[in-house]
Structure 1
Amino acid sequence: MKKNIRFALLATALAFPTTMIEAKTVKGIVTDEQGNPLSGVVIEVPSELGYFTTNTEGIFDLNINNDVRILTLRYRGYKDTKVKVSEDGNVKIVMKSDQSLSDEMIDVALNRKERRETYTGAVSTVKSDVISRTPSIGSDVTLEGHLAGVTQMQNSGVAPDDGTAYYIRGFNSYTGNAILVVLDGVPSPTLSINSLDPGSIESITILKDAAAKALYGPVGAQGVILVNTKKGISGKNQINGNANFSLTSPTYQLSTRDSYSYATLRNQALIANGLPKAFNDNELQSYQDGTGTDNRWTDILLNHPVVVQNYNANIKGGNNRVQFFVHGGYIHQGSIYKTNFDSDKYDPTNSYQRFSLVSNVDVNVFKFLKAFISTNLRYSNNNQSAESVSSIYNEIIRQPATLIGPTTSDGKVLTNEYFGNPAFGQINRTGQYTYRTTNINANFGLDLDMSFITQGLSTRGLIGYQSNYYDVFKKNRTYARYTYDNTGNLVIMGSSIDSPISIAKYTSTFYFMNIQAFIDYKRTFGIHSVEATAGYLAEDRISDGTSRNWSLPMNRISWNLHAKYGLLDRYFIQYDFNHSGSEQLKKGNRFHSSNTISGAWVISKELFMQKVNWLNMLKLRSSYGNLTYDNFYSIGRFLYLDDIRNEQGAGVINSLYTAALIKEYQRGNANLHWERSKQLNIGVDFTLFNALSVSLDYWNNQQTDMIVRSEIVPELLGVSNSYLPYQNIGKMNNKGIDLNINYLIKKGKNLIINFNANLGYNRNKVQNIDELDLSADNYAYPYRRTGFCRGQSFGYEIDYSNGNGFFNSKSEIINSGLTYSGTAPRVGDFIYKDQNGDKVIDERDYVPLASTKAVPSVAYGFGTDVTYKDFDLHIFFQGIGDYARVYSGLGIYENQSQGVYNTHHEHAWTAERYAAGESITYPTLTTTTSSNLVSNSFFTSRSDFLRLKNLTFGYSLPHSLVKKLHLEKIRVYFSGENLFTTTKLKFKNIDPETGTVGLPINKIYNFGLNINI
């Protein structure tokens, strides 16, 4: 026993000094590139269980195993650094700042910035180089296809109506699509991004998930767009000037059909309706041999191309005390119509002008206090004739080539009895309409560094102001129209006369005030990092409009709390809280809170990942939040109150009263409360080989308590659904994925290739809106909204069982045994499927028409940028998918006006064509109504498209030459927009993005010069 004890003691004694020999001391200091010590740098030692940090002077003193050869240092905002341990154990380490894509600073809620690598939310961002690359009139058009999770649909190609409709992750409420726009930190409720000069914008960021947008409360629940303009810098003043000249023409246009083709189709439609021909054989012959009237109105009245001029210049600079940025821009878009007016008292020339001025000044008042003031001014002047631009365009499409005109040799306007107000007269003789807008956005803020109390503490405040002033000046007149009678004499039409000009003027104003106050705390304690923000926001808006309730002030207030904790610069957890109040609801329901929790794990910073050299960054993140929404102004205000009005009633009894009647217009609901949304997001970001960056998100938004009217109403109540109160009974689900890919290739010093692509997919389903179940009435589909996506269209399904889907004879109509509600079918009309088997074709046989919806399910974009020496090339494609519309009206139905025919009407059903076995692609033509011209599967078409959105080629003059001119850079460029489109739309001459033959989107050819001083 004693021998065993002695042996144990001896072994312990021998082992202890051996352990001491295996340890060593390593000392050192860590600084940045300027030699400033870095406090709290995390030092990781292989095989050690703990972590070490530098002290306030950047010094560390470690006692580690003797076999350790490498130390890994990590610090927020700096590149990870590996150092070898020297023999003497003393090291000096310089850490380099990390400017990589994964660690860029991004704009986030409440005018803050965060590192992308540590951010827990989901955002999409475009920078100024992308925005300014496409020299468009407005900013939002340049964004199409660039933002994953954002669907944009352009309205037209004519300013100021050429903006786009935004949908962030689809439709998120049945009441509307209210996206919050924030300009330089201030919510701007009426701001159109398209009104901003692209050259003044530094970045546009889309906040998509609950973690990103929660701090904006109910107004941000459907998505937030952060727009930040450029700021000044310390150092030499930089001056930039840009001049751009553009030529535009329609991507698609339904041009005027030649007289012979039109007259032939018109006669065909009249004969099918049992009516006499409109054009006799002699007239047809004159049209065919070119001696008859053949006015191609789209050529006569439309300017092709339209000229657009775009000029802007800016200067930025400053010193350590003051930094400034000033930008000025001017845009002029010429008329799309050719004018020939007969008076010097008005000018109906269609044109659009916009002047813009942006000024941002930042001042370091003293050591602890900073101030800034931002001003964004836009003035626009839109001039046109007294008739709207769109109605004139549609009238041009309606007018056949057989219509005489436009004037006699002495300027009298010609027309006929079918076109009482011809397009030429609308353009040149109705007067002038001038619409001027003045928009002001101004912010003033202070930022106080309170580190004299404790390090990392600060407070800031901001006052934001927005005003919109609308000034309309209108000169109206009537004008004389002439035609030729049966004897060939020129006669005045009806009682039309050239009247004196009447003048009307009216104005409208909108004001918005926003006040923000925040306390911020941000600090790092060794391996721990904390940040917190507590804030208060209040806003007041008022409009002087005369509409019911809208001239009353609208007020909101909210309190916010943001807290975030980080460990080892790799584990992050975040909590966001918002408590908001809204006057939209009754007292007791006006305030509600929303909560969001989110987190991120930067896996690539784990020790077990250090040997994976090809993986530069890998991060998992997730968020879940309960958000609220009250922006249902599209329905009305004060929905909790009964709407009682004084107004003259309608109907036999009410007509007996000459005085105003008290009328209950709509019942209120005192129990109305906030719409709610539970939003989940799971995302992964990674970078491979310092070249390939990928961001992928899955999201799921569950909307509940949506405000809708119940359709389940007893008939005994005796009132229509429109009188019933709104209730919180709607449910809807949205889910999908967002994908963003970027791949960078560098070949030597001269060649850089960057490929980028993004994809957004959303799937929408209406789960409940208290819709009436129609199954008891033998409906094939008893629900028309519940269970389907928002915007699902219904209609008849064509029955092709006979081979072509048309009734090819009267006997076939009789033998079918079908009775059509409304207009009875003719020979050559569609055969519809009797879905419920009752032998009656009516709305009970409606079926969901494939892929029709309010918002496309798929939106994507991809492109490449190539820079070689002084040359640069940019190519970008944009598209949408899984989307269909039911088409109708002008350019689709042949019965519009006196017949408007498109290419799909050329092979309409006729007995001769059927007997000859020729191809038939359209039912029998008509001049009035028919059983064909209703919602059905034939008029439903996929509207997917892929468009070459932008192609830019530029050349920068050699630097040696530019220097001789005392300039920094001269670049000339050519670019084209909307140059090519491929689509699944089966109807020709219609742009798949707008879905109409109205004002089209334009192809644009740009020539530009950019100079930097």
Structure 2
Amino acid sequence: MKKAVLFFLLSIFALCEISAQITVSGTVSDEQGIPIPAANIVEKGTTNGVVADFDGNFSIEIPEGTTLIFSSIGYGTVEKAVNGQTTLNVTMAEEASQLDEVVVVGYGTQKAVNLTGSVETVKAEEIAKQPVAQASQALAGLVPGLTATQSSGQPGSDGAAIRIRGVGTLGSGAKNNPLILVDGIPDDINGLDPSDIESISVLKDASASAIYGSRAANGVILITTKRGKEGKISTSYNTYVGVQSIAQNLKFADALGYMEAFNSAEPGAFSDDVLNQYRSGNGVGSEALPDSDWVGLLFNSAAIQQYHSLSVRGGSEKLKVASSISFTDQDGNIPNFKFQRYNGRFNLDYALSKKLDLAFDLNFRREIKSQPARLNDLTRSAYRLQPLFVAFNDDGTYGSGFGGSNPVALANSTAKDETVSNYFRALAKVTYRPFNNFSIAATYAPQFFDRDQDDFRARYTYYEGSGGVAQSTVGGGISESSLFKETFTTFQDNFNAVANWGKEFGDHNISVLGGYEFLKFNSEIWSASRRGFVLDEFRGLDNGLPDTQLNSGNSTLNGLESLFGRINYTYKNKYLFEANVRRDASSRFAEGYRSATFPSFSVGWVVSEEKFLQDNETINFLKFRASWGQLGNQFIFAANRTDNNGDVIQGSDGSAVAQEVNFPYTSLFGLGNANAVIGGTPVVGGAQSVLANSQLQWETGETQNVAMDAKFFNSKLSFTGEYYVRKTKDILLGVTIPTSVGLEAPVQNAGEVWNTGYDISIGWNDMIGEDFRYGINLNYSGFDNEIKDLGGLDQLPPGNTINRVGEEIGSIYGLKVDGLYQESDFDVDGNLNSSLPSPGFGAIQAGDLKYADISGPDGVPDGAITNDDRTIIGSDITTQNWGLELFSAYKGFDLSVSLLGAGGRDVVLQGDAGWAFFNAGKIQEWQTDYWTPTNTGAAYPRLTPGSSHSNWRVNETWMHDASYVRLRNITLGYKIPRDLLDKFSISAARIYLSGQNLATWDNMPEGIDPLTPQFSSGAFYPVTKVFTMGLNVTF
């Protein structure tokens, strides 16, 4: 009986407690009424808390009569007592000491107001509002001075190539990629789950980057992932489903157009009877009258992609956890093409005591990329095969294409090239604070990566006409199947220890940082292959013929050891000074040249803190800053890596992957490169493979930067303007040696390049009434690039581009054109008039290009057209970039529009991409404006078949302005009302529609994307446009 009474009393007590709980909802905004996203709302004295959504809305369940604490970076903390009300709207004011956000910098954080270097930030919501498979794509157009160029739509290689402030170095395989660090450790931005990103900091000048020394020559991108926060556990689910299609592709003439044009090149090649049959339209597209659209048949009209991400964040005062898993699935627009990525992340922070903190992170990803074997051969064939070759017979079987080469049959066959990659990283960090204002942290993060490729070239079946005999091939006249396997593994050790001390003395604030870092990188690669598989279903190497086996492999390593430090000093929050220094020792250089020191200095003046501006109602913030610094470069690259087809390997950003050189200071001896047969027995031999340069030293970069930051009209208008000079000296460059030496050329310090430019960003954010808010943000950057020195040479040996002192890197080098030869330029016997320069590239006739005679062996016109007449005709560098972001929100709706543009770059279309009928190819629609006796004012020369002709040289005719404006993204979202969500215990939910790469306006010929690499062989995958529908839910 007593137990029953006690249970009853406890039940009554519990019901009373439950009845005292209330739900409080509202909006957190600043003094201008603009919502504050991600504000923290916590019940005082407990860990019960929530985070406001993107529009500042929140809902929290608390006992009646308690107090809520509202906090957000850059705003003063607000406490509000809850006395029965269920709606609570809170206004937060900027603190005088926190006029701007805290941003991530090298090995720490700083208030943005105190920054003296060039640092730009991108917030998580700017990344999250763009549903992209590769995180790099979302950076396009967001940061002045940073370009993120997507040049391919190939799943798994459709990321954007990132550059910061132009091109600073040159040479074979030279890379201008910035250093990308994720939570302080080198990583690939395209391997990240975009939903895991908390913030991105872009360090653009040497002052901001110098603390990273030799790794920061091309700028630094610091990515911080989301970590747990004190308060209630929050669960988020993000998903989208999209449909992607080719944004634009080469457009070719149909069979009739092809034949009519070809008759102009070779009169009588196709009879009038054949042409009339096609003109009638009867039976066109059959075996008898084929009209194959190879590009349309290879590239599907649409492909599906999807993304799912589940994350959990929260914790107590001592323990905070953030974890996430995600899955990305992307089909290709070519059959049997698929890319999948699995991501997992676990971040833990534990306050072991008041003086000791622990952090432990785990991160893994698995990528599976499956595509038809010989992908580049597929696209080459589709862009080259004439419409007169049969893709499908009348009975639906695969036709013979060209000599059995049918890219449609190959794409749909069982021939498959599959690559599986695994990445794992662990991170352990210990932070100890032995006394006030001082801390020391040690971080160790091992990384492991492996990539396994299985490229099986299976046979496919085609028929020589309906009912014909089945024939098997793998394409290219090869009848036997083959398997190529490659395994690539890397292991990297990352360790750093950083000590921080800081103290405020009245009006003086000083902080000091010092640290040590060690990096070690090991890699190994091996490959094996066999041919002659009897059964394609059994795809192990042991099923191929033993006497066809091949194998190879190599391994390499490099290391970097560093000391670094930083001093920050602030006086009265208005006079700023910062100094950085780093000393690096690299295994890539010989003793005596192994170490180098990279310093930087910067100053700032916060003018708005001066008395004469403190009461100014127009200027809310004004700061001037200047910096100088030096950076280094230890990376030396050989030629671009190629696969077993001989094609250049593409990275996740679509750019070529170059082979690093790790021991350029010593003569390399290779085993297996001098094999011989002695006494009838094969013997492995070795020989020197490269000349050494024991005096090779660091490539260095020096940057000066001056800037102004300002905010006006209650911070509604913001402006940043920067001017910089970037000098890259002692460039690591391969020199030319006689081929008779028989060795690879050594690398030496033999170049200097200057970039001079400016970055501008301007933004306006405001509200109209209480419900409508909008923002406009524009950024623009431009630079000039000039080669100042090439080791005493005037220029390097030219090809289609040239590196010459006084000009920019990789200037397009070709012939100027004075129009087209007309019939009046020849006498009755077909001889060229003597008043015109003699042609030097073969016989010419009316309709051919008329090259300008501008030089000769002595540098003056000599009356003959030769290679001496080549000159710089264009630029291969994009020197101007801009981005425009438009944003608006009304009640539950939000709309964002992103545009970007670029200028200054030219593109030469050659080979399959530019020359009609080249190598037995076909003709694009834009090429049909060719010279004929009745079309003498044509844009292009007369048509000629074959593989070589005087018209087919790099010249002004085939060069086009690659400037463009692209509608990068449009997203329309709607927040589901809270009263509806409360019924399902959902904190926030948003649905949206989005479009990527929807339109491009440019000066290129129709069908050609200005950002797609125009490989002369036609091996490229066009950029895609994507329409997606998504959902974001928080519980």
- TM-score, structure 2 length as denominator? 0.80
Partner of 1:85: none
Residue 394 (structure 1) aligned to one of 357, 376, 380: 380
Q: What is the CA deviation profile of residues 820-849 of structure 1, one whole-angstrom value per residue up to 9, with x for unaligned ones?
A: 333332321100011122122111101111
Offset of residue 489 of structure 1: 6.6
1:695-710 mapped onto 2 (5 Å cutoff) = 695-710=720-735
Distance 1:720 1:484, change over 3 A: farther
Q: Verify: 1:262 aligned to 2:249, yes or no.
A: no
Task: Measure the CA separation in 2 of the matches of 1:662 and 1:805.
Answer: 64
Q: Secondary structure at the match of 1:840?
A: coil
2-side partners of 1:862 and 1:394: how far apart? Answer: 36
Is the contact between residue 630 and residue 675 of structure 1 (CA under 8 Å) also seen in structure 2? Answer: yes
Determine if contact 2:801/2:812 at 8 Å carries over to the other structure.
no
Matched-pair contact (CA < 8 Å) for 2:795–2:805: no
Alignment of 1:443 with 2:427, yes or no, is: yes
Alignment of 1:176-325 (within 5 A): 176-188=174-186, 191-271=187-267, 277=269, 279-290=270-281, 291=283, 292-325=289-322
CA offset at residue 893 of structure 1? Answer: 1.1
- From the superposition, tell whether residues 101 and 942 of structure 1 become closer, same or farther in structure 2 (CA, over 3 Å): farther
Cα distance in 1, alignment partners of residues 485 and 329 from structure 2: 24
Checking the alignment, whether the CA contact within 8 Å between 2:366 and 2:420 is kept in structure 1 is yes
How much does 1:133 deviate?
0.8
Higher CA-based Rg: 1
Matched, 1:523 2:503: yes
The correspondence for 2:664, drawn from 639, 650, 654, is: 639
2:400 is aligned, of 415, 422, 433, to 415
1:840 aligns with 2:864: yes
Write the deviation string for residues 209-231 of structure 1: whole angstroms up to 9, x where unpaired: 11111111101122111111111
- 1:952 aligns with 971
Residue 758 (structure 1) aligned with residue 743 (structure 2): no
Match of 1:5 in 2: none
Q: Retained in 2: the 8 A contact 1:604–1:619?
A: yes
Question: Following superposition of structure 1 onto structure 2, how do residues 114-125 of structure 1 map, counting pairs within 5 Å?
Answer: 114-125=110-121
Of residues 472, 475, 478, the one that matches 2:459 is 478
Report the counterpart of residue 693 of structure 2 in structure 1: 669
> In 1, are the aligned partners of 2:487 and 2:525 still within 8 Å (CA)?
no
> Taking structure 1 as reference, are residues 368 and 133 closer, same or farther at Cα in structure 2, changes over 3 Å only?
same
1:694 alignment partner, one of 719, 740, 743: 719
The amino acid across from 2:571 in the alignment is L
CA contact (8 A) 2:830 2:845 kept: no
Matched, 1:559 2:581: no
The answer to whether structure 1 residue 931 and structure 2 residue 950 are counterparts is yes
The residue type paired with residue 677 of structure 1 is G
Deviation at 1:560, TM superposition (A): 0.4
1:793 aligned partner: 812
Do residues 863 (structure 1) and 885 (structure 2) align? yes
Determine if contact 1:482/1:490 at 8 Å carries over to the other structure.
Answer: yes
TM-score under structure 1 length normalisation? 0.82
The reply to whether residue 105 of structure 1 matches residue 123 of structure 2 is: no
Report Cα offsets for 1:147-187 as digits up to 9, x if no partner: 11112221211211101211111112224225344444333
Q: 1:492 to 1:507 in 2, by over 3 A?
A: closer
Find the partner of 1:576 among 560, 574, 580.
Answer: 580
SS at match of 1:926: coil
Aligned-partner Cα distance in 1 for 2:748–2:159: 33
Residue equivalent to 2:9: none
2:355 aligns with one of 368, 384, 387 = 368
Give per-residue Cα distances to partners, 1:799-821, cap 9 Å, x unaligned. 14989999899757343453333
In structure 2, the residue matched to 1:469 is: 450
Read off the aligned partner of 2:388 and give its amino acid letter. Answer: T
State the shift of 1:577 in Å.
0.8
Q: CA deviation at 1:285?
A: 2.1
Shift, 1:490, TM fit: 5.6
- 2:851 counterpart SS class: coil
Give 1:678's match in structure 2, choosing from 702, 725, 748: 702
Contact 2:852 2:869 in 1 (8 A): yes
The 1-side partners of 2:750 and 2:295 are apart by 50
Q: Give the secondary-structure state (helix, strand or coil) at the position aligned to 2:155.
A: coil
Structure 1, unpaired ranges of 5+: 1-32, 37-75, 81-94, 339-348
Q: Following TM superposition, by how much is the alpha carbon of 1:266 offset from its aligned partner in structure 2, in angstroms?
A: 2.2
| CA positional deviation for 1:311 | 1.4
State the one-letter code of the partner of 1:558: S
Report if the CA contact (8 A) 1:269-1:927 is conserved: no
Deviation (angstroms), 1:195 = 2.0
Other-structure match for 2:67 = none
- Contact map agreement 2:459 2:473 (CA 8 A) in 1: no
* 1:183-215 deviation digits (Å, cap 9, x = unpaired): 443332xx3312211111111211111111111
Query: How far apart are the structure 1 equivalents of 2:110 and 2:939?
Result: 62
Corresponding position: 1:589 with 2:593: yes
Structure 2 residue matching 1:821: 3-state secondary structure: coil
Q: Residues 497-551 of structure 1: CA distance to partner in whole angstroms, max 9, x if unpaired?
A: 9978655544221111100001100121111101011100001111112599962
Segment drifting more, 989-998 vs 551-560: 989-998
The reply on whether 1:384 has 2:371 as its aligned counterpart is yes
- Is 1:738 matched up with 2:725? no
User: Quick check: 607-616 or 890-899, which moved more?
Assistant: 890-899
Q: Cα distance 1:286–1:808, how it changes in 2: closer, same or farther (>3 A)?
A: farther
8 Å contact from structure 1 (residues 464, 513) kept in 2: yes
Partners in 2 of 1:205 and 1:803 — Cα distance? 59
SS in 2 for 1:813: coil
Q: Which amino acid letter does the alignment assign opposite residue 317 of structure 2?
A: N
> 1 CA distance for matches of 2:74 and 2:773?
26
- Alignment equivalent of 2:417, drawn from 430, 433, 452: 433
Q: Secondary structure at the match of 1:103?
A: coil
Deviations 1:770-804 (A, max 9, x none): 365599x9x9x998521111111110000149899
- Cα 1:387–1:494 change in 2 (3 A) is closer
Q: Residue 893 of structure 1 aligns to a residue in which SS? A: coil
Say which of 784, 791, 795 aligns to 1:770.
791
- Relative distance call for 1:77 and 1:863 in structure 2 (3 A) is closer
**In the alignment, which residue of structure 1 is the partner of 2:490?**
510
Equivalent pairs, count:
887
Contact 1:559/1:579, CA 8 A, preserved across alignment: yes
The residue that corresponds to 2:20 in the other structure is none
Aligned counterparts of 1:139 and 1:989: Cα–Cα separation in 2: 27
Question: SS where residue 817 of structure 2 aligns?
Answer: coil
Aligned with residue 991 of structure 1, among 1009, 1015, 1028: 1009
CA contact (8 A) 1:799 1:805 kept: no
Residue 440 (structure 1) shift:
1.7
Separation in 2 of the partners of 1:468 and 1:816? Answer: 66
Report whether the alignment pairs 1:127 with 2:123: yes
Aligned to 1:601: 605
For residue 53 of structure 1, what is the aligned residue in structure 2? none
**Residue 538 of structure 1 is aligned with which of 500, 518, 527?**
518
Aligned CA distance change for structure 1 residues 546 and 293 (closer, same or farther; 3 Å): closer
Q: Aligned pair in 2 of structure 1 residues 924, 472: CA closer, same or farther (>3 Å)?
A: closer
Q: For residue 263 of structure 2, give the secondary structure of its aligned residue in structure 1.
A: helix
Identity of aligned residues (%): 24
2:127/2:138 contact within 8 Å kept:
yes
CA contact (8 A) 2:339 2:370 kept: yes
C-alpha displacement at 1:610, in angstroms? 2.0
How far apart are the structure 2 equivalents of 1:769 and 1:299?
47
Asked if the contact 2:148/2:161 (under 8 Å) is kept, the reply is: yes
Q: State the Cα distance separating 1:262 from its structure 2 match.
A: 1.4
| Aligned position for 1:892 | 914
Q: Secondary structure at the match of 2:259?
A: helix
* Alpha-carbon offset, residue 280 of structure 1: 2.6
